[in-house]
Amino acid sequence: MREAFYKLVDEVTGRLRGAEVLLAGFSGEESDFVRFNKSLVRQAGHVQQRRLTLELIDGNRHVAGMVTLTGEAGEDQGRAARLLEGLREAIRSVPEDPYLLYNTEPRNTEQGKESRLPGSGEMVEAVLGAGRGLDLVGILASGGIYGGFGNSLGQRNWFDTHSFHLDWCFYHAKDKAVKTSYAGFEWDGAGFGRKVAEAKEQLGVLAIEAKTIEPGEYRVYLAPAAMNEVMQTLGWVGFGLKAVRTKTTSLLKMVEEGRTLSEKVTLRENTAEGLAANFFSGGFLKPGAVTLIERGKFGEALASPRSAKEYGVRPNGNEFPESLDMAGGDIAADEVLNKLGTGVYVNRLWYLNYSDRPACRMTGMTRFATFWVEGGRIVAPLNVMRFDETIYRMLGANLVGLTAERDLLPSESTYKERSTSSSRLPGALVERFAFTL
């Protein structure tokens, strides 16, 4: 795919006229998808797709378009040529863009490794074995994801990654299920086995009559998947330079008033250890890491090329995290229940939104396996509850600690194509966590 893309960029570049500049992007995948229900394979398929995006620039005017590629050189060249002609016609009608910014200092990179994935059949057999005698529901996605950038100035960048993501539930009844995920670059049977054993243990607890607790403040453990929902909500409008400068960031009190989180909290956009490419809009390269929050204090905002041009800074990424990394703490995973003592063990959250964005207050629901814990032991499942909390309490004054172990949590999105966004997060032990109903 890489060489075919580079040749296509060269061919289209040869068709430019005068001062025209071309930016080209490539995205593709070769993915296997397997859906499970009642511990049986219900659907299996293979997806192979390639897309070419062209952006034509003439002075401060620019237009962009996309075509699907076939993998056949002659046909793809024709499609790209026709797209270029259409862009050339359209660019006459667009106004100049005062915030247009693209990289004019070519830097070539290649990022990728050989696949270490087993065949999909081997992973499917492991999943079916784990679900034997139970109602396992889920989806396995695996394979290669590819990305590229090229321009008429001579820059060439390539990215590929080979990963898998298994998202599954052990279903009990009604709204009671244990939802778990397992992801990575190579399949570890022992690691998968530990995930399965933990999920089965929690499934057994769901057979106990569910408990309802009164609204109030409780000591809570938020598992990494629950933390991921909090971080994804925070990432919507928390870290972008545009949001910071226009005072629409949900972390406004940190930026404007010097509010802080716990010193235990350090967040980075860690491209070097994530799943996403190291290049982004306009051909700019991302730093290996950008510190968003350092020991509880607001760090550096994420600046897209447009925001960078508007506010006179250097672009360092997209305006939302794609490789979010939170430093771990000192709580061992096998000590979580003892450290929690008596309180609520939350595996998952959902339906999160801001109830007060300037105060960074979020509301949402518990989901799937949430448990009541007494004396360091899970004693009953809990019925669904709603919480309403600020980030300054959750990860600030009320944060007891973070787990040393962290989970890699790739995005589950497959809209148009498999996402390369991911988070690497610990679990969090929080006191006086507010449930409202």
Long-range contacts for 250-254 (Cβ within 8 Å, ≥24 apart)? 250/354, 250/357, 250/358, 250/360, 250/391, 251/298, 251/360, 251/391, 252/358, 252/360, 253/358, 253/359, 253/360, 253/392, 254/293, 254/297, 254/298
The closest of 309, 327, 337 to 404, measured between CA atoms, is 327
* pLDDT at position 385: 96
Backbone CA torsion sign across 260, 266, 271, 272: positive
Residues composing the chain: 437
What pTM did the predictor assign? 0.93
Q: Which two tokens stand for residue 56?
A: 């034509």
Residues 6+ apart with CB under 8 A from 125: none
Q: Which two tokens stand for residue 4?
A: 């075919």
* Residue range 107-153, pLDDT digits in tens: 999 998 889 999 999 999 999 999 999 999 999 999 999 999 999 99
Single-letter code of the amino acid located at 368: F
Residue 432 has pLDDT above 90, yes or no: yes
* pLDDT at position 164: 93
* Residue range 26-60, pLDDT digits in tens: 999 999 999 999 999 999 999 999 999 999 999 99
The b/e string for 3-42 (b: 16+ C-beta within 10 A; e otherwise) is ebbbebbeebbeeeeeebbbbbbbbbbbbbbbebeebeee
* pLDDT at position 65: 98
Residue 302, Cβ neighbours under 10 Å: how many? 25
pLDDT band for position 264 (cuts 50, 70, 90):
very high
The closest of 240, 331, 336 to 290, measured between CA atoms, is 240
Give the whole-angstrom CA distance, residue 70 versus residue 51: 9
* pLDDT at position 319: 95
* pLDDT at position 415: 85
Give the whole-angstrom CA distance, residue 409 versus residue 146: 19
Residue 284 has pLDDT above 90, yes or no: yes
* Residue range 140-195, pLDDT digits in tens: 999 999 999 999 999 999 999 999 999 999 999 888 899 999 998 999 999 999 99
Domains annotated for the chain, with CATH where assigned, are: 2-206 (3.30.2290.10), 216-435 (no CATH)
Q: What is the largest CA-CA distance in the chain?
A: 75
Please indicate whether residue 91 or residue 114 has the higher confidence score (pLDDT): 91
